[in-house]
Structure 1
Amino acid sequence: MRRLFPHPGLTLLLVVMWMLVLNELSVGGFLLGLFFGTLVPLFTAPFWPERPPVRYGWPLIAYGLLVIGDIIVANFQVARLILFCRNRDLRSCWLSIPLDLQSAEAFTVLAGTISLTPGTVSADISTDGRHLLVHALDTSDPEAEVARIKARYERRLMEIFR
């Protein structure tokens, strides 16, 4: 089974994305999505010699729900800043987040999560891979924001990418 589906998570993601792009529920569309969802991971498997172990299930679902909730809340916070705050009142800053994550895939998910949340954007990762540079639109306490990102996202990603 592992030989046919070397990356089951990628297969599932590709099938779901195919069905969303297709914007129609049909057996033919699902079978074509399954075909591509199986073929792409088979051809790309040699390029991923050391896959990190990923815990699918509740930790991944909980992380996804947390991120969706944070994106919704941050949208309202940024809208409030845009509508009611003057530029000179913004307290934007650069944050250097020390990383405890080990895999490049986990770094990528963390950077993507931060960039998806309005008001923050991941800008760079240090050459040694131990710090992530993030720009925050409005932060009164940079140390608390770094601690919040580590506790809220990085800790959960360490559970997912064991």
Structure 2
Amino acid sequence: MKRLLQSLPLAGLLLILWLVLNDSLSAGHLALGAAIALTLALLAPVLRPTRARLSHPLVALRLAGHVAIDIVRSNLDVGRFILRAPRAGTPSGFLDIPLRIRDPHGLATLACIVTFTPGTVWTGHDPERNVLTLHVLDMRDPQHLTRIIQDRYERPLMEIFE
């Protein structure tokens, strides 16, 4: 019974997603969506053997605010970059960033943050050296981007997950 109660929030979100994607509130879609959502919610813990623990929720909220601001800024920067017709000499390329974070949930969150931010794409992670490889659209200042990743994102994620 406890497992069923713990699965209800995820099941509710999945049901809402199902209904939105199907653009229908019919009884059939409600019943099928509820069955699929509940089944997936009950099976979800099997897919995640290690559970994430958020130890500092205020740090997480502050990080979410920083990410939202950075996404807006990055959208504007990428728009300006594209509109000014990049020349052949505009530097873009791959950047290796050493990381300290080891928690898989923190690394997954960092991957989402980096990929959600226009102008950067997470292209790889070497777990042995713990080095993140990014593709960066505008690499005029790679040290600045490295500091942003390490100080603005990685440090709070380490507080939250480790």
Same fold at TM > 0.5: yes
Change (3 A) 1:56 1:155: closer
Q: Does the Cα contact within 8 Å between 2:57 and 2:160 map onto a contact in 1?
A: no
Amino acid at match of 2:41: P
Tell me the distance in 2 between the aligned counterparts of 1:64 and 1:33.
30
RMSD: 3.2
Query: 1:60-107: per-residue Cα shift (whole Å, max 9, x none)?
Result: 333333222211111110110111143224221311121222222221
1:66–1:141 Cα change, 3 Å? same
Aligned to 1:92: 92
- Tell me, yes or no, if structure 1 residue 70 matches structure 2 residue 83: no
* Unmatched runs of 5 consecutive residues or more in structure 2: none
Specify the alignment match of 1:59 in structure 2.
Answer: 59
Task: Give the aligned residue type for 1:161.
Answer: F
Name the TM-score, length of structure 2 as normaliser: 0.76
**TM-score with structure 1 setting the length:** 0.76
Verify the 8 A CA contact 2:15 2:33 in the aligned structure 1: yes
Aligned pair 1:115/2:115, yes or no? yes
Letter in 2 for 1:94: F
Any runs of at least 4 consecutive aligned residues in structure 1 with deviations exceeding 6 A, and if so which? 28-35
Residue pair 1:7, 1:45 contacting (<8 A) in 2 also: no
Q: How many residues align?
A: 161
User: Aligned partners of 1:75 and 1:91: how far apart in 2?
Assistant: 18
- Residue aligning to 2:40: 40
Query: 1:80 aligned to 2:99?
Result: no
- Structure 1's unaligned 5+ residue stretches are none
Confirm or deny: 8 A CA contact 1:93 1:139 kept in the other structure. Answer: yes
The verdict on how the C-alpha distance between 1:2 and 1:59 changes in structure 2, with shifts beyond 3 A counting, is farther
Aligned amino acid, residue 131 of structure 1: V
1:102 corresponds to: 102
Q: Deviations over 1:26-71 (max 9, x none)?
A: 8x89998777555423212123222121247433333333222211
Distance in 2 between residues matched to 1:129 and 1:30, nearest whole Å = 48
Which secondary structure state, in structure 1, belongs to the residue aligned with residue 3 of structure 2? coil
Contact 1:124 1:133 in 2 (8 A): yes
- Identity across aligned pairs (percent)? 30
The structure with the largest alpha-carbon Rg is 2
Change (3 A) 1:131 1:43: same
